[in-house]
Structure 1
């Protein structure tokens, strides 16, 4: 029998202890022969990233021994941190950023010398006994230099530059016979989803590159995941049609044409925040297995490259990534609103699905899970925006008659990113305690075409804020939430949206900023290379349009803030330095507004340690309980709230 209890006070089995103890991160599926490898990010090991291998008989083994941590800091966000070739693993170690070589069961040995150099996105060049990868050079001070290099596998100090001159490089890929290399490159102020160029060059007998040819792309066209077919056909994803679609180049010559494989108003690519992302893979010479997204939902399909025929495959997953194939087997990272993220194996001949590794072994009763509802709502200038609404759900409780739930609006990071319908225990933590949650895909989010993504151009801090505010007001108008208990929370860029919404609007009654931006000028002048010109497109040129930066910086308008805020910050964050949060906290203290600041000395941009993930989630809930005056069922660690 259900109990009647105030919303926010419901007791839930989805605790932070359960979340951090039973949940790992999964990424970077790699195939070598008949073995499958992936990375597990383990909060219980201080966020250490471990390569795990699986043999055909189903045995899984940790490959990476402690204290090694498989993570590269190229572009700060990393990705593409390891590869496996002929049973030998090559990986980037987080502590020193050197490349290491390892065979299973042996200790890793350094391949590259000690230097202030970082590596990512490597491929093996078997014909010349070398690796080809991205190198980020921090040896000279100032902005680092990015280039494509080769590394001699017999002598790791023999490093040759293959391509340089652009600000950024990614995806160096050799043709099957080793005769050609393709890659993408781009320059400031573009981000890779704004515009990149696809290049191809022959590989000379001495290993250097011959005449380089621009195949596709430019300042207004984003190229994603170039890849060679088994017979040497170059394929890639481009958004030249305003949607990321698949294309091929039938013979890379001076007069080569670029042919669409299957035009569709759908996204076959995604914003390249990290290296090594994969949304398609060849299963045969003329057959691709691919994933695409429509209206925020992922689909899996086969695409015949000569017949131009797309055939969807029904699977119980709505979010799909890290797609790889080997023969009639497909491997992917899949999840849905009821299934946690997992490494999945699919037999393409029979349709059988095998879960190789789940991000959690926890079995959550469906009576505690809130199923998201896709919401379209009106926003400024007659436009439509999107989001996922999670109503409060707990089979053991009902709310008192007439009580409407408090609302937590989540503004995702990026801001060029998107929320997902994947099962998130962090979201279910809130909904199972009696909160409603609205995960907003504000204008600028990906998954709805290039035009929707471009809504943030020169409008960051306006469009995203309007959409979060209008989404909350829409839900209140529909009678789904309590308009007097609406909060907003976000991390990084989502933290900026949160702070703007709290300062420049008066809809939300409280908020939480996770390593959020409060000073746009500081971000423009004190951040890493990858994002150092990101704001040119989101805000405007700096310092030429300095006044706009000042007008949209929450730190300059704290006098307009009239509600409580809690801040969470990693003290080793190089993306959003701690001084931005600390400046805001000091101003709020002086103003007499309730404010809390929770700092984590050993965290960077995003929290990886289990004790800090727990502290932050429980701390935010505790903060709202004090602000809104409800009593949590959990015995939460107290957070010091100044001025309360």
Structure 2
């Protein structure tokens, strides 16, 4: 076998088999894994089907089915980021599945094994509401004995984004509440702004859940609440076991033997604790400077699962989480064997089987099963298949750079890579900024990254101060420093790559969406590091996005109180840090991408920024997409965005992007 000749070509012009359509078609990952008997179910992205989330069923023989055709879209809008949108059980001798349909947010039930088509057709369980955002549901579980589905109900009481209440509620499975809101049984009074759904103890006498209130976010402080369950199924007087303004309890579950387990960061790391349900005494089962949980962005996320044999399946680590089995008696963790380096916060278990979603830098997200009896791991669903020659995929490197004051800055670096082409000298690089900002970039196969690296453009994902995965102190670096620490850390990575000769200082770009869009815009208006930038569905005006501005949804409406500071005390800080008020500082081309249905970062933020930039002679493009909300999901949208971004880099970095429409810039 002969080695192909390697030629030289300018960065950005390398021929690649990874086109925008290929990258977009593989965007997203499986989510919300669960089991019903021996079957495994999950939701999966379908970019080519209008961006819907399909419900996938894995039969015991390994066959994958999609029982709900388009346009059924299994996705919740509770707190806008959603939560577990389906649940199932054997009810009256046959399988019954309940799910949230995104279009109307109603709960529906269907029996996938019904003998006739009419029996398999979903039927509504909850009513519509004409008030504000209506009725929404998440964090579902089916109680077959009571004939109910338990969930968090989000109910709008007015037209404003914060005119809403959230409470645990039970919906009858017989459909009697489909047109009757009064038939929905509220399990407790609405005592907190935010709650997760109750978790019943094995004997059914007690329930626990998490609760928090503005201005806290769930990674700042939550409370683990407990109450007795009365004969009528209602929750009695609740009390707090652990948690508070400076303690984040991310998950709580009952073990089969009645032990209460909770992941809390009271030690500075989210560690797993055994909590006494009477006294609240918490014992750390595995004291480590590692995370055993993460930021609760979606209701129902699970980083651990108690197992029947007394062990606990856990996701743990610094940075990327891995799957392990924790022995609560010894505190020892035995990690699952396999190539996966990143596990998503969705764990299910049945018998001696643990099921999750895992990926690596060379493989996409797969449904993976661990047999705890044998220690064997295997892929059981959504198996990775190479869609392109792996030689065109980037080699990922986990790096730690030095930021201001000598602080550590974590990043993933993806140098340009193409089996047949080499570049001359330092390469152009794009700094990718993750959203959140209390989140992190995962080092997993991403064909959008490969779309650029295979053409000769390097990518560096920055887990700047404030990111999760590195302990509470690292997370708290961003308190009142948003727009400062994140911008500095991204700049430190860019400058570090330049200093070591990898990146060309004249061909640096920055890109990010949502909170990453904020950081990108703040960097473009406040520094001279970058030659251009791509800004997706961003926050650009802090005052408008604050609790006083009313330009975002309820969940994050007071997020800035910790990220920037109390708006009523430091209004000038909100003004001064906002890119919309620093438009004079931007002098390089930029691309702005926005969904017109986005209620988290609405188009008005972009429009205000563009008005401030107008007449300053800065080349830019603004592309909007009807039907897209926060985070793009449709194939055609993502193709347009990728090609436009590459075209921007071609214009600025001085190369022609073959096969890509030219991006028209205005000034």
Q: How far 1:23 sits from its partner (Å)?
A: 5.0
Unpaired runs of at least 5, structure 2: 114-119
Q: Secondary structure at the match of 2:431?
A: strand
Aligned residue number for residue 374 of structure 1: 398
- Contact 1:503–1:558 at 8 Å: present in 2 too? yes
User: For 1:464, what is the secondary structure of its paired residue?
Assistant: helix
Q: Could you tell me which residue of structure 2 aligns to residue 84 of structure 1?
A: 88
Shift of 1:162: 2.0
For residues 293 and 581 of structure 1, the distance between their equivalents in structure 2, rounded to whole angstroms, comes to 38
- Residue pair 1:125, 1:174 contacting (<8 A) in 2 also: no
Q: Are residue 465 (structure 1) and residue 481 (structure 2) matched?
A: no
In the alignment, the residues of structure 2 paired with residue 256 and residue 519 of structure 1 have an alpha-carbon distance, to the nearest angstrom, of 42
Q: Secondary structure at the match of 2:211?
A: strand
Q: CA deviation at 1:408?
A: 0.3
Is 1:151 equivalent to 2:171 in the alignment?
A: yes
| 2:184 is the alignment partner of 1:162 | no
Match of 2:503, SS state, is coil
Maintained 8 Å contact 2:229/2:235:
yes
> 1:362 deviation in Å?
3.6
Give me the CA root mean square deviation: 1.5
Aligned to 1:605: 630
Query: Partner of 2:594 in structure 1?
Result: 569
Q: After TM superposition, give the deviation of residue 618 of structure 1 in Å.
A: 1.0
What are the within-5 Å matches in structure 2 for residues 493-508 of structure 1? 493-508=515-530
> 2:228 & 2:581 partners in 1: Cα distance?
53
Larger mean CA deviation between 343-352 and 601-610 belongs to 343-352
Q: Tell me what 1:442 maps to.
A: 464
- Out of 55, 63, 67, the residue aligned to residue 63 of structure 1 is 67
Work out whether residues 171 and 183 of structure 1, in 8 Å CA contact, stay in contact via their aligned partners in 2.
yes
Q: Does 1:141 align with 2:159?
A: yes
1:299 matches 2:322? yes
Could you tell me how far 1:22 is from its partner in structure 2?
A: 4.7
Deviation of the 1:358 alpha carbon: 2.9
**Equivalences for residues 77-226 of structure 1 within 5 A:** 77-86=81-90, 87-105=95-113, 106-115=120-129, 116-142=134-160, 143=162, 144-154=164-174, 155-156=176-177, 157=180, 158-163=183-188, 164-226=190-252
Q: How far apart in 2 are the matches of 1:316 and 1:351?
A: 14
1:364 aligns with: 388
Residue of 15, 29, 41 corresponding to 1:11: 15
Deviation at 1:46, TM superposition (A): 0.6
Contact 1:193 1:271 in 2 (8 A): yes
CA offsets, 1:121-148, max 9 Å, x none?
0222334222221111113333211111
TM-score calculated relative to the size of structure 2: 0.93
Give the equivalent residue in structure 2 for 1:430.
Answer: 452
- The answer for the alignment partner of 1:242 in structure 2 is 268
Cα distance, 1:547–1:256 mapped onto 2, change above 3 Å:
closer
Report deviation, 1:343.
1.1
Report the equivalent of 1:313. 336
Q: Is the CA contact (8 Å cut-off) linking 2:29 and 2:45 kept in structure 1?
A: yes
Rounded to whole Å, the distance in 1 between the matches of 2:144 and 2:552 is 38
How far residue 590 of structure 1 moved from its aligned partner, in angstroms, is 1.4
Q: Look up the match of 1:581.
A: 606
Given the superposition, is the C-alpha separation of residues 22 and 462 from structure 1 closer, same or farther in structure 2, using an over 3 Å criterion? Answer: closer
Report the Cα distance in structure 2 between the residues aligned to 1:407 and 1:42, rounded to whole angstroms: 30
Residue among 260, 266, 270 paired with 2:290: 266
How far is the alpha carbon of 1:350 from its aligned partner? Answer: 3.2
Residues 1:523 and 2:545 aligned together: yes
- Of residues 4, 28, 39, the one that matches 1:35 is 39
Are the counterparts in 1 of residues 154 and 166 from structure 2 also a CA contact under 8 Å?
yes
Residue by residue over 1:161-207, the C-alpha shift from the partner in whole angstroms, topping out at 9 and shown as x without a partner, is 22312110014211122211110000000000000000111110011
Q: 5+ residue gaps in structure 1?
A: none
CA distance in 2, matches of 1:311, 1:474: 36
Distance 1:449 1:358, change over 3 A: same
User: What is the CA distance between 1:80 and its match in structure 2?
Assistant: 0.9
Once residues 360 and 641 of structure 1 are traced to their aligned partners in structure 2, the CA distance between those partners, rounded to angstroms, is 38
Equivalent pair of 2:336/2:370 in contact (CA under 8 Å) = no
| Residues in 2 aligned to 1:307 and 1:435: alpha-carbon distance in whole angstroms | 48
- Secondary structure of the corresponding residue to residue 407 of structure 1: strand
Give the TM-score taking structure 1 as reference length.
Answer: 0.96
1:289 is aligned to 2:313: yes
CA distance in 2, matches of 1:481, 1:502: 18
Are 2:411 and 1:411 equivalent residues in the alignment? no
